[in-house]
Structure 1
């Protein structure tokens, strides 16, 4: 028994004594007439995207034939939906009759359970549910492990009081988190605007301007040049030797170029890097498929990277950090998207024959360096503010978790 000592009027229960556990299933993915119907069908990813506790639809839904073809079951509105794999612990309430895949379990309430209290109860069990997961390929919470999770259950009047208390308190906490997240978004937008202005207008607001002839930039300082990317960088394809031990590098949309060993959980580890492209410090790595989402950046490392990427090497004097910021700016990403080819958005690719003819500002190198120094100073201030907001959000969320746990276990009195 893992739960606390007895509280007067509260009873020791297990999941199976208080809920009917319902399993989910998935129809054959290749059978088109099973999909995109009117029967709501959800999975862990759908639960993870929710902005409220109720779930109504999944990203894909089933036809009647799809529903009948597999072992999933419809559960009524008010059923607790718990993700039991990838990851364990997302919790939602069915806002209507729906079904789900094998990555979820449905907890259909028995008469002694109040709905809102049940939601907070299951949410409070997250750590124990995760600990009960098993598996090697992926961790999953089995029905047998779930059913024996134990807890203390108060009488219905106290369940309602606890639920009302948590509904009010947590709504206030969630609003505080929302405000902090909104502040982070504004700081990130401010950072983007700062970069955009600096790399296209420079630092002197009184400098004479001229039309750049580039739609996404507009006017630039009169003494700046406009050059095509291929006039600044050349495409290189130097293959690595066999049985090499070079650092394997990759490019990420959010953090730029990093050694793969530092982020191996983000991708598969290459079995060999024979024939991979050699990367010198100061080169740019371009993910042709995701460049329009920001997957282009300066390498501060020597190493190798996938032949699926392009390597750009400067052949005129430049500040790499200046072009790192310019290439990863929102405006340039939109321009890359315009020049990319592909039959659908997620298949867009940019090849050097297109990237190379894109025009960009080319300020004097000493000015590029001054712009980088200016941006580094101000970015640090903004990044510190963002980090502080994120720490505050983490603290608020920890408080929320503690409050929920204390309330549903009777450690604090709410009436």
Structure 2
């Protein structure tokens, strides 16, 4: 992302460094150890925990957490939590490769788990600059050389002796203010693109749902389907229970029918949610022997079978492809074989429509939400257009998916570019590759025009 920082000037003079992590440094910058910049503080809240706001370290940094929300694990007691003050730095210095974000800056007073390290900036240092510096390191796991043990821990005494870059207090302030302004603009643009992606996905689903329940001809005569969630359908369409569309509907075997000791390195494949959710039947490495395959032949899956994920993932449905390996379904799938006169791809799209989801919600009342069984599937009403119309609707849906997917991919690419720009700006500012000492906050809403998104 050279272009992201090309418009900013560099320092006039640099000095060479005998450091692995940085070859050059602005002439007036220093290198100090963390212990001269940050002071470790551990104050336990004890019985006063009820007076403190619960905080959490997340990808968005240190954020307030609602105890009553029920999100994530909530301990029985917070008495072992530690005090956090506004502008403290919070570090997670364990399981560092697995932890998405290892540093955060507290926006307010509160308390946080005692497993983290809480530091305050020593006078003469800007907490926000220190945060951006360690965020820069976190983006490429720059503390990896200091890990120890299986849990990849950076010990407190080791952390205290890590070297970090130190510009003057004024420059730290300028860098922090510059990055606050620039990253806020970028974050605003990213949020707009994320909202666009959600709108595109909603529109795509609405177009598909309309096509499979109303057809493609806006002038066709309509009739009442007799089904609350379907409303009117084209007059020449039939409406029937889904079970009458199929020659068979079979749930996967009971869990006890397939045990771990049955799996072999090669043979007949066992298909499950792992393949259906991403609609990728090449992945997966669960196989059974020919003997077990023949014993479980009732669950054999054939090309054009509709496979439905039946636990916790309503709407995850795929058609078994022609070129997939022979195999069976596992207990988390249902396979529906539609009659030869119907297009299975049309009915896959219909089963993923809003009309079917509403039926499923109604039929599941009193049962377990997110779980589909044959009884529920049998009761779902299906529309049955003539076969040629099924084919035309499916082809139309594919065209619409391609169009919307292209727009979504463009938005995702824009987000990726903006995230790269964000990373490049942080990296360049905290390592002295750009000089922002003379930067002034323009105080205008550039977020609407930057990038021309």
Q: Does 1:383 align with 2:391?
A: no
> Counterpart in 2 of 1:283?
305
Bigger Rg over Cα: 2
1:150-192 Cα shifts (integer Å, max 9, x gaps):
3211121111111111111111111111222222122112211
Aligned residue runs from structure 1 range 305-384, under 5 A = 305-340=329-364, 348-384=370-406
What secondary structure is seen at the aligned counterpart in 2 of 1:318? coil
> Which stretch of structure 1 is more off in the superposition, 279-288 or 150-159?
279-288
Aligned residue runs from structure 1 range 2-17, under 5 A = 2-17=21-36
> Counterpart in 2 of 1:413?
435
**CA distance change for structure 1 residues 3 and 253 in 2, over 3 Å: closer, same or farther?**
same
**CA distance change for structure 1 residues 159 and 380 in 2, over 3 Å: closer, same or farther?**
same
Q: How many residue pairs were aligned?
A: 389
Normalising by structure 1, we get a TM-score of 0.81
What secondary structure is seen at the aligned counterpart in 1 of 2:403? helix
> Counterpart in 1 of 2:316?
295
Instruction: Pick 1 or 2: higher relative contact order, CA cutoff 8 A, min separation 6.
Output: 2
1:323-345 Cα shifts (integer Å, max 9, x gaps):
22222234423432332266775
Aligned residue runs from structure 1 range 201-240, under 5 A = 201-233=214-246, 234-236=248-250
> Which stretch of structure 1 is more off in the superposition, 189-198 or 249-258?
249-258
Aligned residue runs from structure 1 range 14-413, under 5 A = 14-21=33-40, 39-43=52-56, 47-48=58-59, 50=60, 53-57=61-65, 59=71, 66-68=77-79, 70=80, 72-84=81-93, 85=95, 86-94=98-106, 95-100=108-113, 102=115, 104-126=116-138, 127-129=140-142, 131-132=144-145, 143=156, 146-233=159-246, 234-236=248-250, 245-251=267-273, 255-259=277-281, 262=283, 277-292=299-314, 294-300=315-321, 301-302=324-325, 303-340=327-364, 348-413=370-435
1:250-294 Cα shifts (integer Å, max 9, x gaps):
3369954333x73x6xxxx758685774322222222322243x2
Within 2, Cα distance between the matches of 1:118 and 1:331?
A: 53
Shift of the alpha carbon at 1:97?
A: 1.7
Please tell me whether the aligned partners of residues 190 and 418 of structure 2 are also in contact (alpha carbons under 8 angstroms).
yes
Within 2, Cα distance between the matches of 1:334 and 1:133?
A: 54
**CA distance change for structure 1 residues 255 and 354 in 2, over 3 Å: closer, same or farther?**
closer
**CA distance change for structure 1 residues 312 and 130 in 2, over 3 Å: closer, same or farther?**
farther
**CA distance change for structure 1 residues 270 and 182 in 2, over 3 Å: closer, same or farther?**
same
CA RMSD for the aligned pairs? 3.5
Shift of the alpha carbon at 1:106?
A: 3.1
Normalising by structure 2, we get a TM-score of 0.75
**CA distance change for structure 1 residues 128 and 328 in 2, over 3 Å: closer, same or farther?**
same
Within 1, Cα distance between the matches of 2:345 and 2:411?
A: 26
What secondary structure is seen at the aligned counterpart in 2 of 1:5? strand
What secondary structure is seen at the aligned counterpart in 1 of 2:268? coil
**CA distance change for structure 1 residues 367 and 164 in 2, over 3 Å: closer, same or farther?**
same
Unaligned 5+ segments in structure 2 are 1-18, 438-453
**CA distance change for structure 1 residues 257 and 130 in 2, over 3 Å: closer, same or farther?**
farther
Please tell me whether the aligned partners of residues 210 and 221 of structure 1 are also in contact (alpha carbons under 8 angstroms).
yes
Within 2, Cα distance between the matches of 1:222 and 1:88?
A: 54
Within 1, Cα distance between the matches of 2:180 and 2:390?
A: 53
